[in-house]
Structure 1
Amino acid sequence: MKVQKIHRNNYIVKQLPTATVYLNRKFEIIHASDQWANEFENDSIDILGKNIFDQIHTEASSDLKNLLILCLEGKSTQFNTEWCAQNDDLSKWFEWSITPWYDDNENIIGAIVQVQNISLHVQVDQRFHKLESLLREKAEFANIGIWEFDPIKEKVWWCERTKAIHGVSDAFVPTFNNIIDFYKPGYSRNSFALALENAATKGASWNEKLQIITPEGIEKWIITTGSPTFKNKKFTGLLGSFQDISQTVEIETRTKENERLLQTLIDNLPLNVYIKDTESRKILVNKSEADYVGLGSRQELLGKNDFDVYDHKTAKIGRNEDLWVMKNRKSIMSKEDLCIKKDGTETIFSVSKIPYIDENNEIAGIIGMSIDITDIKQKERELKDLINVTSLQNKKLIDFAHIVSHNLRSHTANFSMLLDFLTHEKNEDEKSKIMKMLTDSSDSLLETLDNLNEVVAINTNVNQEKKKVALKEKVEQVESDLQAFLTNNNALIINQIPQKLVIKVVPDYLESILMNFITNSVKYSNPERRPVIVLTTENKNGYTVLSIADNGSGIDLKKYGDKLFGMYKTFHDHKDSRGIGLYISKNQIEAMNGKVEVESAVGKGTTFKIYFNEKD
């Protein structure tokens, strides 16, 4: 908005009918009218930003500089006739007017210098009449009136424009006393009375923005100036001006009100809004953006770029986006960006950026909007995890149904066949053999049903409470329970788990898992060497990883890797192989939100890595 205001002011000043420049406090030209350029034979664009004393040359440059300094101090506004030599063949006379330049907070930020070419009048009339004529002419354009006080005659003189500003007729006779009554009671009246007293007693000039009330009750904002005049160091009167700035103040008031309304609107939007200049510095932010950055107030954020508030990587991404939008004059809509602040806080935003184009169709920056979608992305991840779990459970259910159907059908067929044999067999010895086979089949069926029930129990009781368990102690307990088995097989367990390591697990599941993996390591040991099982742990990406490594026969993972944890899958000719242990252990691990991995080489041994989830 500041950029727009500067361009608008340039546009207005260029069209002023008088030669006018706006100077900053360094006497650099900020705005210049075309008339100024014509009078001094300069280009109104080329002189912007340059020192006024480098552009014009007068016989009284030092006096002009002193007047400008006084003006910047708010002490005086002076009118002077100066001679300016343009070149050896041409001389011009100008009338100078210097007025303070105020910002929105009524601070003097520079000076307004207006000149009038009076070369044709210098030889025609006296200095006073020329000045009066010039002021009247300027008053027509700038709504400025002049006034004068003669202390000897005790008379106050107002020009027609001054009377019009005060809403009185040409017949009105101002006096030193009644002019004070026009000022609004309070600050304005007290300030004007004090200014008159200081001018008369101390020789002080003034330049004030005050309010007056006309006889009809209309309130107006004016800029009133006054300067004492002296002759031989003796006070001879006061000379000053009145400028009606009511329309300007009304426009400024409406502008500020519109700005407040706009600010209120964007402050209550459920998203972060900001405007950046071409250097990616923020020139407008809403409350949400200021609150997110955490700098306390909007003013503290203005003028800062992303490198001031985000880590370098995040800021670089933001800057590249800004440059792309400004270069291509195209928008970025709903792009997901991870923003990391310097304190490490991470937020996922849906970011939209559009080019900010000024009234001259030039790129002035970007307008950005972003909304925090961190919670939405978390919900998406949770939903995705739920879908994955559901899919996995559904696959397990289908696999389980196939296994149950196949196994029960096998047992049923076996029973049917044996019963048929028994019905038709006459030999008692053969009948006894068949009865034994029926008994064995019955035991096998019961074992199958027990295994299936255990699998069902694991997958239906997924919310069993996890408790803290000392892992090293649990391994020692399992080793004690298997002592006879281990001794008979001359097996050695090397427990390298830290003594104080505690994990959150379902205790019964952990015991079953350790039993299965340790007994398997012994069962499938290499007959040529003593079975050795080494247990170690490590922390990895939020998991406590238990490694169970043996020096057994190993598994051909290329051949059996995808079937290793299947139900009733066996990979050795061991007489006790059932193919159910690893399947049950894997289900128990996954029921605790963990996972299991395997590394193996035929003839060298196998390492199972069990991941216990530390987060849930």
Structure 2
Amino acid sequence: MKAAESIDQFYLLKQLPKATALLCKEGILLDASCSWLGIFGLPPQNKNGKTKIFKLYPKTSDLKKRLKDNKPFTLQHKTEANDGTRHLKSYFAPWFDKEENVIGTIVQTDDITSEVQKEQKIDWLNNILETKVEVSKTGWWEYDVQKDKLSWCKETKRIHQVPESYQPTALEAIDFFKPGYSRNKVSMLFHKVRASHQTYDIKLMLVTYHGEERWVRITGKPFVKNGKVRKIFGTIKDVHDEEMAETRVKEHQQLLSTLVDSLPLNVYVKDLESRKVLVNKGECNYFNKSAEQLIGKNDFELYDDQMAKVSREEDIQVMKHLTPIIGKETISKLNGKTTYFLTSKIPHFDLEGKVCGLIGMSLDITSMKRKEEELHNLIDITSTQNQKLISFAHIVSHNLRSHSANFSMLLGFLNSEKDPQERQRIIDMLSQASDNLLETLGNLNQVVDVNTNTSAPRKTLNLKQSIVKVLQNLAALLDKNNTEIINNIGENIEVNCVPAYLDSIILNLISNAVKYKSPNRSPLITLNSVKSEDGIVLSISDNGLGIDLNKYGDRIFGMYKTFHNREDAKGFGLYLVRNQIEAMGGSITVQSEVDKGTTFNVYFNEDS
């Protein structure tokens, strides 16, 4: 008790800033600073206090033994407080009297909660880092410039395929990269990050410890202090599989692009708004634009509104109802040029099976359509020619048979006639019949010549000058019949014709207009011409007798067809005119009203 009584002289103990406590040799708390008592949540101690230290360290079973050893030691422990768990660190040391006899123990306790929490946070961050490294397969490295020391993490060593005990140098790390571009590049970047503080992020080829070539992505960043690089941090990631996959994808894309560009089709892909997201070379050639100029454009930006509207409606039908359009014949007009396509549109699905647009393919069938039109025209021409041949055969058969019968009958009369005067009259009739036969043969020969000589040379002729020349030849006929001519033909109108055919056509149509004039009025003939996309149209109108087209419309251009009971009407002129026009690839139409007049429209084919 003498030792306990001597404690009173240490009344300053309670005011010590350092949490301190005094124990007797039995481990009973004699006195403590207020800060120490506060740490353990103990009330102020009095002289009769019997608090044993062992209750405050319940998890330290050997504390009593360690106190008896009279040797300094340290304990790290924790206590529960109102504000949570508190981490403590206590230092135990023997307490000596003046004669250096051990009379107890001095305990000093520090609250290390903040330090423990920092360590726990660091451990937590390290665990996260290690997890991220493990999951992302990304290693890290650190280079201490002053110490010239390079450190690799486990993942970095795994990527290099070196043992975990391997400790590389900076030069050895550089030598792991493939000789040539990769090694030179990483050496230059490592120098720049030290010299000019430049960060880097690049893919290079690494040769592992086992000699395997692999693509890696490396980064480097300096830690600068006082203008000097102290350390360099970086990462390394094995991207070999991704790089190989990307290379294969690029190769497949190149193969697909080459294949699509080589197809004799216009191929394109549109999004849901009908904007082009991919086009092949055929589509670019059709629009005479580059792929960059077409990507992002819709049909309203490429075609006229009507065509674009039709195309957009088709696109919506395909994408909304998933109804493909296969082999639909379409007509496209671009820059005044008409192109025929065989078009197909099918829905385009994304990886989740949702419609994300459409794929379109168009085959240019313009040449096929032209051939088809030529074939139809050839069939029409063949049919027409065949009909003409049949008609011509009937005409020849009928007319020649009529002449033959007439000759036979007159010769029979001549043989049986004895009267000289009557015989002379029959001979005169035979002479006239012979002239008629010659005229018929001449007409038939002329028709044959027109239909067989379709390759007769043509010339570019001034239409007005050709008409004036014919009018001059008909001047006497026109004056005799008091005919008025209104010539509205343009000065510069030209036609590509056989000269003799053009003269014959004009001559027949104008002379017919005079021949079939109305007895109640003087002839009035009006000539007009129109130049259109299909060629030149010559119109010759008169105010004559007119023709009942309801009655004679289907026979108006027939051979030897007459409609006005005139003695001088032979019905050959219009037949010849139509054959001459059709031989040059043109056509002729007629509009007429009885006693009002007739208009013939001659269409010249300028493409022939």
Equivalents in 2 of 1:378, 1:426: separation in Å?
A: 72
Equivalents in 2 of 1:186, 1:270: separation in Å?
A: 44
Q: Which amino acid aligns with 2:539?
A: S
- Taking a change above 3 Å as real, the CA distance of residues 414 and 216 of structure 1, as seen in their structure-2 partners, is same
Q: 1:306 maps to what in 2?
A: 299
Q: Which amino acid aligns with 1:571?
A: F
SS at match of 1:485: helix
- Say whether 1:241 aligns with 2:235: yes
- Taking a change above 3 Å as real, the CA distance of residues 499 and 234 of structure 1, as seen in their structure-2 partners, is closer
Q: 1:318 maps to what in 2?
A: 311
Task: Give matches, 1:270-281, under 5 Å.
Answer: 270-281=264-275
Q: 1:337 maps to what in 2?
A: 330
- Taking a change above 3 Å as real, the CA distance of residues 452 and 232 of structure 1, as seen in their structure-2 partners, is closer
Task: Check conservation: 1:458, 1:591, Cα contact below 8 A.
Answer: yes
- Say whether 1:286 aligns with 2:280: yes
SS at match of 1:179: helix
Task: Check conservation: 1:136, 1:145, Cα contact below 8 A.
Answer: no
- Taking a change above 3 Å as real, the CA distance of residues 276 and 424 of structure 1, as seen in their structure-2 partners, is same
- Taking a change above 3 Å as real, the CA distance of residues 557 and 242 of structure 1, as seen in their structure-2 partners, is same
- Taking a change above 3 Å as real, the CA distance of residues 289 and 540 of structure 1, as seen in their structure-2 partners, is closer
Structure 2: gaps of 5 or more residues: 1-114
| CA shift digits 1:261-307 (9 cap, x unpaired) | 111222222222222222222222222222322223x3443333333
Q: 2:140 maps to what in 1?
A: 146
Q: 2:35 maps to what in 1?
A: none
Task: Give matches, 1:52-451, under 5 Å.
Answer: 123=117, 125-151=119-145, 153-197=147-191, 199-200=193-194, 205-229=199-223, 237-296=231-290, 298-341=291-334, 343-451=335-443
Aligned positions, number: 494
Q: 1:594 maps to what in 2?
A: 586
Larger CA deviation: 483-492 vs 571-580: 483-492
- Say whether 1:466 aligns with 2:458: yes
SS at match of 1:351: strand
Q: 2:44 maps to what in 1?
A: none
Equivalents in 2 of 1:476, 1:239: separation in Å?
A: 100
| CA shift digits 1:334-357 (9 cap, x unpaired) | 11222233x334322211111111
Q: How far is the alpha carbon of 1:199 from its aligned partner? A: 4.9
Equivalents in 2 of 1:404, 1:122: separation in Å?
A: 127
Task: Give matches, 1:544-583, under 5 Å.
Answer: 544-583=536-575
Task: Check conservation: 1:552, 1:604, Cα contact below 8 A.
Answer: yes
| CA shift digits 1:38-74 (9 cap, x unpaired) | xxxxxxxxxxxxxxxxxxxxxxxxxxxxxxxxxxxxx
CA RMSD of aligned residues (A): 2.7
Equivalents in 2 of 1:612, 1:533: separation in Å?
A: 20
- Taking a change above 3 Å as real, the CA distance of residues 438 and 515 of structure 1, as seen in their structure-2 partners, is same
Equivalents in 2 of 1:188, 1:605: separation in Å?
A: 96
| CA shift digits 1:300-347 (9 cap, x unpaired) | 433333333333333333222222111121221111222233x33432
Q: Which amino acid aligns with 1:610?
A: V
SS at match of 2:341: strand
Instruction: Answer with 1 or 2: which has the greater Rg.
Output: 2
SS at match of 2:560: coil
Equivalents in 2 of 1:496, 1:242: separation in Å?
A: 90
Equivalents in 2 of 1:232, 1:476: separation in Å?
A: 106
- Say whether 1:482 aligns with 2:474: yes
SS at match of 2:170: coil
- Taking a change above 3 Å as real, the CA distance of residues 424 and 122 of structure 1, as seen in their structure-2 partners, is farther
- Taking a change above 3 Å as real, the CA distance of residues 232 and 469 of structure 1, as seen in their structure-2 partners, is closer
| CA shift digits 1:7-62 (9 cap, x unpaired) | xxxxxxxxxxxxxxxxxxxxxxxxxxxxxxxxxxxxxxxxxxxxxxxxxxxxxxxx
Identity of aligned residues (%): 49
Task: Check conservation: 1:135, 1:146, Cα contact below 8 A.
Answer: no
- Taking a change above 3 Å as real, the CA distance of residues 164 and 385 of structure 1, as seen in their structure-2 partners, is same
Could you state the TM-score of these two structures normalised by the residue count of structure 2?
A: 0.75
Larger CA deviation: 536-545 vs 348-357: 536-545
Larger CA deviation: 233-242 vs 394-403: 233-242
Q: 1:613 maps to what in 2?
A: 605
Equivalents in 2 of 1:229, 1:474: separation in Å?
A: 98
Q: Which amino acid aligns with 1:433?
A: R
- Taking a change above 3 Å as real, the CA distance of residues 502 and 122 of structure 1, as seen in their structure-2 partners, is farther
SS at match of 2:171: coil
| CA shift digits 1:77-127 (9 cap, x unpaired) | xxxxxxxxxxxxxxxxxxxxxxxxxxxxxxxxxxxxxxxxxxxx9959444
Q: Which amino acid aligns with 1:292?
A: Y
- Taking a change above 3 Å as real, the CA distance of residues 288 and 543 of structure 1, as seen in their structure-2 partners, is closer
Task: Give matches, 1:495-574, under 5 Å.
Answer: 495-574=487-566
Q: Which amino acid aligns with 1:331?
A: P
Could you state the TM-score of these two structures normalised by the residue count of structure 1?
A: 0.74
Q: Which amino acid aligns with 1:265?
A: L
- Taking a change above 3 Å as real, the CA distance of residues 270 and 540 of structure 1, as seen in their structure-2 partners, is closer
Q: How far is the alpha carbon of 1:576 from its aligned partner? A: 0.5
Q: How far is the alpha carbon of 1:152 from its aligned partner? A: 5.7
Equivalents in 2 of 1:499, 1:386: separation in Å?
A: 35
Equivalents in 1 of 2:146, 2:590: separation in Å?
A: 113
Equivalents in 1 of 2:122, 2:185: separation in Å?
A: 29
Q: Which amino acid aligns with 1:458?
A: V
Equivalents in 2 of 1:558, 1:263: separation in Å?
A: 65
- Taking a change above 3 Å as real, the CA distance of residues 122 and 286 of structure 1, as seen in their structure-2 partners, is farther
Equivalents in 1 of 2:269, 2:198: separation in Å?
A: 45
Structure 1: gaps of 5 or more residues: 1-120
| CA shift digits 1:404-438 (9 cap, x unpaired) | 11111112222222222333334333333332322
Equivalents in 1 of 2:538, 2:226: separation in Å?
A: 105
Q: How far is the alpha carbon of 1:455 from its aligned partner? A: 0.9
SS at match of 1:361: coil
Q: Which amino acid aligns with 1:332?
A: I
Equivalents in 2 of 1:280, 1:564: separation in Å?
A: 56
Q: Which amino acid aligns with 1:182?
A: F
Q: How far is the alpha carbon of 1:196 from its aligned partner? A: 4.1
Q: Which amino acid aligns with 1:336?
A: E
Q: Which amino acid aligns with 1:580?
A: F
- Taking a change above 3 Å as real, the CA distance of residues 587 and 122 of structure 1, as seen in their structure-2 partners, is farther
Equivalents in 2 of 1:128, 1:199: separation in Å?
A: 28
